[in-house]
Amino acid sequence: MFQRSFLFILIVFSIACSQEKKQIQALGSLNEVLDCQTLDGLHLKYGAENVINDTSWVIGDDTLRGSIIFPNSTKQAFVYFHDANIVDVTIKGESSDWKTNSGLYLGMTLTEVQAVNAKNFTMSGFNWSHGGSVVSWEGGKLTGDSTLSHLAVFSDVSNEHEGLSDEAYQMISGEVEFDVRHPDIQKLNPKLDLISIVIPKIPSKSEGKKIGSRIQKSQVPKN
């Protein structure tokens, strides 16, 4: 009887894993959004009726302006432009119908991302405006190059930190950096809730000053 029950559980588990794998494989490619290059390209590929032009959204403490495709749906993605060209495509939330060509999708756990990167990486502490952000892929497969970079943020489960004491969570919070092998981070095993694929660009002198000023205001306390 025990053997039959165990076999049944094993079959159900195998079917569930197979279905999950098929669902992941069926996700659309976020890189194809980046490949549209311009607003006209977005309209051509996804239909003008599925694109909100010239709108704003907030990520962390930044307010960005660009377009949103398939708004208020599981295919929603945020598109940022520079000189009329698409340079950044972002998805955020618990799940999405998109994944990157590198294999990232919303809801992946930290340990799963480690496997994709094939190397440990560095991330910021939790519980602040840029909490859980990947600081460096440390030369792993997600490092990118001069043509494409990956940005990612891991959810801290609304600061509930299930499975960790308040004291342990406090130790991995704040504007500090951690190797993902930190035992409490591994125990928390947070999930991806923001992914961006970005075409790197060197900002102009004026753009650099604006970026520096924004960073200073967000990180340096006023006297």
pLDDT at 20: 46
pLDDT, block means (10 residues), the chain with 223 residues: 49 44 66 96 96 84 87 96 94 95 96 96 93 95 90 84 91 95 95 94 57 48 45
The answer to whether the beta carbons of residues 174 and 125 sit under 8 Å apart is yes
* 3, part of any domain: no
| DSSP state for residue 123 in the 8-state scheme | E
* 121, part of any domain: yes
* 9, part of any domain: no
pLDDT at 214: 47
* 71, part of any domain: yes
Query: What is the CATH number for 72?
Result: 2.60.460
* 89, part of any domain: yes
Helix/strand/coil for 112: helix
* 21, part of any domain: no
Count CB neighbours of 101 within 10 A: 12
Q: Which domain holds residue 180?
A: 27-202
* 16, part of any domain: no
Q: Which residues of 127-150 are buried (b: 16+ CB within 10 A; e: fewer)?
A: ebebbbbbeebeebebebeeeebb
pLDDT at 159: 74
Counted domains in the chain: 1
Straight-line distance from the first to the last Cα atom of the chain, in angstroms, rounded to the nearest whole number? 72
Q: Are strands 122-124 and 177-179 parallel, antiparallel or unpaired?
A: antiparallel
pLDDT at 65: 87
User: What are the CB-based long-range contacts (under 8 Å, 24+) for 103-109?
Assistant: 104/142, 104/150, 104/152, 104/192, 104/195, 105/24, 105/27, 105/192, 105/195, 106/191, 106/192, 106/193, 106/194, 106/195, 107/191, 107/192, 107/193, 108/191, 108/192, 109/189, 109/190, 109/191, 109/192
pTM: 0.79
* 147, part of any domain: yes
pLDDT at 62: 75
Helix/strand/coil for 202: coil
Q: Residue 81 phi/psi, 5° resolution?
A: -115, 155
For the record, the structure tokens of 134 come out as 């990947």
Q: Please tell me the total number of residues recorded for the chain in this structure.
A: 223
Burial class (CB in 10 A: 0-12, 13-18, 19+), 103: middle
pLDDT at 195: 96
